[in-house]
Amino acid sequence: MLDSKIPAGPLTEKWDKHRMNIKLVNPANKRKFTILVVGTGLAGASASASLAELGYNVITLTYHDTPRRAHSIAAQGGINAAKNYPNDGDTIWRLFYDTIKGGDFRAREANVYRLAQVSNNIIDQCVAQGVPFARDYGGLLANRSFGGALVSRTFYARGQTGQQLLLGAYSAMMRQVALGKVKLMTRREMLDVVIHNGRARGVIARNMLNGQIEPYTADAVVLATGGYGNVYFLSTNAKACNVSAAYRAHKKGAFFANPCYVQIHPTCLPVHGDIQSKLTLMSESLRNDGRVWVPKNKGDKRPPAEIPEADRDYYLERKYPSFGNLVPRDVASRNAKYVCDEGRGVGETGLAVYLDFADAIQRDGEETIRAKYGNLFHMYEKITGENPYRVPMKIFPAVHYTMGGLWVDYNLMTTVPGLYALGECNFSDHGANRLGASALMQGLADGYFVIPYTIGDYLATAWGDLRKHDVTPETAEFKDAVKDATDKTEKLLALNGERTVDSIHRELGMLMWDKCGMSRTKEGLEEAAAKIPQIREEFWRNAKVPGRGAELNQELEKAGRVADFLEFAELIVQDALHREESCGGHFREEYQTPEGEALRNDEEFAYVAAWEYNGVGEAATLHKEELKFENVELTQRSYK
Amino acid sequence: MSSNGNLLQLKLRVWRQKGPDDAGKLVEYQLDDVSPDMSFLEMLDHLNAKLILEGQEPIAFEHDCREGICGACGAVVNGMSHGQEKGTTLCQLHMRKFRNGETITIEPFRASAFPIIKDLVVDRSAFDQIIRAGGYISVNTGNAPDANAIPIGKDKADLAFDAATCIGCGACVAACPNASAMLFLSAKVSQFALLPQGRPEAARRVKSMVAMHDELGFGSCTNHGECSTACPKEISLANIARLNREFAKSLISV
């Protein structure tokens, strides 16, 4: 049933062969096709630019005031590529292997290998666009090791790599806007995908300035709408990040894969109060020099400086003597949770652990530490008002990235013909856990180097059918979708209860964080499954949405997104309940090794879980895509 | 964190304007339970939650990443773009920087090229128009030579990076007595002018971007320097000097 369309042949030749075999669209005919791209992050902007360069007519929608605001902009660390400039033994194969293993053997070999193959082209492209990567004095590009990799393959632009890459893709797209090949529609929020005669033929969007519900017709639709981390309310995502575009596509027939794979990043600033609106990530490079600890005894409220060594528990160093503070993200996060659950957490809320630089400062001097982490220490002080050179930082894990997403085949097409998903919006390359500096790589790989080829194959094949069943805004499915979206907006505007949308979103988020966060159990998940419908009911009964529809109405925008989160959360929980194993970002307490590590069950769960929508509150139907590992051996991770 | 239960009592004077054609006015709100640990935007969230439950319209303001990089947020706080803290976006400004009992005046970024949409939300799409006029290097996907084919001295690469850190928030325009966007424009022109990849189109780029800047109704630069002071990324005025050199060169190049 689920055909991943992985090309035959040896792994290393699949992509080349595929490109040779796929159909091409005659250059003169490309201008006869319109492709709709939703989202202008790395994936959406790079796809828009590249498709327009090929000659397609592109319409690009973003809910921001300008494409440059997309959340890719906030990525700090860097972007991986197998250039092997440092001559330290990196190869395409090694990047492939690290990514597959890092994903805890739950990603598709063929996709990941292709990702590693095109990684080098991405760096070339970005440099040509004027992206100011870090360089050495000799004028060549600098690399660093990141996220525990044994080679230095990460290219970076100080702590603002995402910003620089996004501005590169944005300017490439703006060039096409100037050439008239991309029609850019800002402040448009996609509300639905429209399917006609079995193919995706456009979307419905709300003009966020005047509330008009607008139909957009096209020959193919590309979703590049990011991840769903904000289902937890508090996350490192930007405030507007949401699941709505992907979820509404799911409701129209696109399968949703592995929603329970959520990455929780260990080094974020802790929650400080109940009005907090988001969490801020601090680069995990801090763990290279900082030591993580909590008091040995529960309820020890002394200031950190007054707690003697004998009363401190450096729990990562104690439990993982060989990796110590540098254990992978999921292990570090989970252990922080455990010590806080034991009542040994620090700070006002008890939901934080210390990250202490005192030893490093004593060893290397304050100046050395300032040179390495000055900007991070500055940011920490700005937000918390505390000086981390004098007092240990307080950190806590936070939701950061979602590996799950719309199911796509090798061509990045969803289960709806003509509907594609790129970047964090799809599920394809990171398995159950994403490695540092790989999100930027995947977003740009999909947009610059994959979709420009694969969409041509579809359009060339579907050409006759698309023309035979042409669509206009008057086509029944478009009119129906406009009506549905209008009705839904009116229903939201009629909500006149006693709670803000945020307070209900926060309630959902806390439930998800408690029961479906870093550590999950059958009982907890069942409890969440029972409570989510109650919160959803509370929303539709007691939320308050002020203002009108025919104007800028930020509460209405929020309400629409939260309404989707309240349905989608159930799918995450269903997926987490069904996956009776631990892998990557999905840790089920029932399935762990005697040392407390994630215990996979490759016999029964080496598959992608792709879910088919059956209705609000109805259980989704599971479709399995078996993962075949022909080139790597499945191993158990150990960091002792 | 540092909070010790000392909640701040604040009087807020906020610009309220229903729509582009409404006259708009400052409206006063009293807020008596502001935690010093809140960010400025969280303080506004807090006020908005109260307004909503009282049946009033919340204050519209733009924001997204809330970590100082997306450039969406911004308002004039007590007369300063993004408030008085140097090198700080509004989302990273925290309430501990204000005194108990203080009156805070909050207005939108004002400029004729940034029409007000509602309350604190302004239309900054003119910045996209400036970029569209030439803020790019013309290279199609797949055309690029090896990334290390052209070495670029570290000093120049670092200067290009410093210019490239502009977040496009518009604080510079709001701070400028002439409502000029020269700092924004010069940051982009500088980034590309400093890099060998940007040289082939340098003359065309600067001419076209400056022409678009003027056409959009931004004012001229008369060297007040308010832009750079207000810039949350502390983009240097040296970029405007470089822009002027590039512009002069473009007039004599063939």
Q: Determine the CATH number of domain B8-107.
A: 3.10.20.30
Measured between CB atoms, which of B132, B139, B195 is closest to A177? B132
Give pLDDT, residue A372. Answer: 81
Any A CB within 8 A of B5 CB: no
Using alpha carbons, list the distances in angstroms from residue A335 to A102, A194, A315, A511. Answer: 19, 45, 8, 20
Q: What span, in angstroms and rounded, lies between the C-alpha atoms of A224 and B119? A: 30
B39–A contact, CB cutoff 8 A: yes
Of A124, A136, A498, the CB nearest to B145: A124
Q: What chain B residue is nearest to A65 in terms of C-alpha separation?
A: B125
- Taking the CA of residue A63 and the nearest CA in chain B, the distance in Å comes to 11
Return the closest-CA partner of residue A68 out of A139, A155, A172. Answer: A172
Q: Which residue of A has its CA nearest to B65?
A: A238
Tokens (6 digits) for A51:
């498709």
Helix extents (H) in B107-254: 125-132, 154-164, 171-175, 182-194, 202-215, 226-230, 238-252
Q: Chain B residue closest to A238 (CA)? A: B65
At residue B4, the pLDDT reads 47
User: Is A390 strand, coil or helix?
Assistant: coil
Q: If you compute the radius of gyration of chain A from its CA atoms, what whole number of angstroms results?
A: 24
Q: Please list the rounded mean pLDDT of every run of 10 residues in chain B (254 residues).
A: 70 98 98 95 98 97 97 98 96 96 98 98 98 98 96 96 98 98 98 98 98 97 97 98 97 77
Tens digit of pLDDT for each residue in B103-132?
A: 999 999 999 999 999 999 999 999 999 999
Residues from chain A that touch B154, judged by Cβ atoms under 8 A, are 135-137, 139
Which residues of chain A have a CB within 8 Å of the CB of B42? 275-277
Question: Rounded to whole angstroms, how far apart are CA atoms B45 and B51?
Answer: 10
**Catalytic residue (one of A108, A201, A206, A329):** A329
pLDDT means per 10 residues, chain A with 640 residues, are 94 97 95 98 98 98 98 93 97 96 95 98 98 96 84 92 97 98 98 98 98 98 98 97 98 98 94 87 87 96 95 96 85 92 93 96 93 85 92 96 98 98 97 94 98 98 96 98 98 98 98 96 98 98 97 98 98 98 96 89 97 97 97 84
Tell whether B64 is within 8 A of chain A (Cβ): yes
- Determine the distance in angstroms separating the CA of A383 from the nearest CA of chain B, rounded to an integer: 7
Q: How far apart are CA A309 and CA B66, in angstroms?
A: 37
- Identify all chain B residues contacting A556, using CB atoms and an 8 Å cutoff: none
> ∠B38-A538-A242 over CA atoms, to 5°?
55
Q: Does B22 touch chain A (CB under 8 A)?
A: no
Q: Is A303 left (phi over 0), alpha (psi -120 to 50) or beta?
A: beta
Is B144 within 8 Å of A125 when comparing Cβ atoms? yes
User: Three-state DSSP class for B142?
Assistant: coil
What spatial distance separates the first Cα and last Cα of chain B, rounded to whole Å? 60
C-alpha distances in Å from residue A180, one per residue of A59, A166, A177, B7, B226? 10, 21, 5, 54, 36
CB contact under 8 A, A273 and B92: no
The verdict on B208 touching A (C-beta cutoff 8 Å) is: no
Domains of chain B: which residue ranges?
8-107, 124-252
Q: Are A611 and A575 contacting, i.e. CB atoms less than 8 angstroms apart?
A: yes
Interchain pair B136, A238: CB under 8 A: no
Residue pairs spanning A and B at CB distance below 8 A? 226
Query: Given an 8 Å threshold on Cβ–Cβ distance, is A134 in contact with B62?
Result: no
CB atoms < 10 A from the CB of A8, how many? 9
Q: Min CA distance, A386 vs chain B (Å)? A: 7
User: CB–CB of B148 and A141 under 8 A?
Assistant: yes
Tokens of A354: 């210390």
Q: In the 3-class helix/strand/coil scheme, how is A289-304 assigned residue by residue?
A: CCEEEEECCCCCCCCH
Runs of H (alpha helix) within chain B:
40-53, 125-132, 154-164, 171-175, 182-194, 202-215, 226-230, 238-252
Burial degree of A363 (CB within 10 A; 0-12, 13-18, 19+): exposed
ipTM, 2 decimals? 0.97
Enter the tokens of residue B134: 């030439």
Cα A536–A400–B72 angle (5° rounding)? 85
Angle between helices A42-54 and A451-468 (to 10 degrees): 60
Nearest 5 degrees, angle CA A602-CA A606-CA A607? Answer: 165
Across the interface, which of A83, A126, A132 has its CB nearest the CB of B157?
Answer: A132
Lookup: tokens for A529: 């499954």
Quick check: B124 and A65 CB within 8 A? yes
Encoded tokens for A333? 């996060």
Say whether B124-252 and B8-107 share the same fold. no
DSSP run (H or E) holding A623: strand A621-626
Q: Do B39 and A127 touch (CB under 8 A)?
A: no
By C-alpha distance, the chain B residue nearest A157 is B161
Looking at residue B2, what is its pLDDT?
41
- Going across the sheet that includes A256-257, the strands are A405-406, A256-257, A607-612, A621-626
Name the class of domain B124-252. mainly alpha
Q: Is A329 a catalytic residue?
A: yes
Contact B145 A347 (CB under 8 A): no
Q: Which residues have C-beta within 8 Å of that of residue B175, sequence separation ≥ 6?
A: B80, B81, B226, B227, B229, B230
Whether the CB of B222 is below 8 Å from some CB of chain A: the reply is no
Instruction: Give the number of residues written for chain A.
Output: 640
- Put simply, the answer to whether A502 touches B45 (Cβ < 8 Å) is yes
Nearest beta carbon to residue A69 from set B72, B118, B140 = B72
B60 interfaces chain A, CB cutoff of 8 Å? yes
Chain B: residue nearest A444 by CA?
A: B141
Task: Give the tokens for residue A405.
Answer: 């997403």
Mutation for B interface: A53, A68, A453, A545, most B CBs within 10 A: A68
SS3 category, B114: strand
Q: How far is CA A326 from CA A112, A291, A319, A346, in A?
A: 25, 10, 12, 21
Query: How far B233 CA lies from chain A's nearest CA (Å)?
Result: 12
pLDDT in the model for residue A207: 98
